A = this chain, B = another copy of it.
Amino acid sequence: MTDAAPTRLDRRKARTRAALVRAAQTFIAEGRTNTAILDLTQAADVGMGSFYNHFSSKDELFRAAVEDALDRHGAALDELTRDMTDPAEVFACSFRLTGRLHRRRPQLSKVLINTGLSIATSEHGIAPRVRRDIQAGIRTGRFTVADPELAFTIAAGTALCLGQLLHTQPDRDDAQATDQITEDLLRTFGIPTDEAHRISRRPLPDLDRLLPDAIA
A residues within 8 Å of B by Cβ? 33-34, 113-114, 116-118, 120-121, 146-147, 149-150, 153-154, 156-165, 168-169, 177, 180-181, 184, 187-188
Contact = CB atoms under 8 A, between A and B. Distances in A.
Contacts of A168: 121
Contacts of A121: 164, 168
> Which among A147, A169, A184 has the highest number of chain B CB atoms within 10 Å?
A184
Nearest to A166: B153
Contacts of A164: 117-118, 120-121, 153
Given A180-B147, A188-B187, A158 B160 contact: no
A210 to B, nearest CB: 26
Contacts of A157: 156-162
A153 B158 CA distance: 6
17 contacts: A113-B117, A116-B117, A117-B160, A117-B164, A146-B180, A149-B165, A149-B169, A153-B158, A153-B181, A154-B154, A154-B158, A156-B157, A157-B159, A157-B160, A157-B162, A187-B188, A188-B188
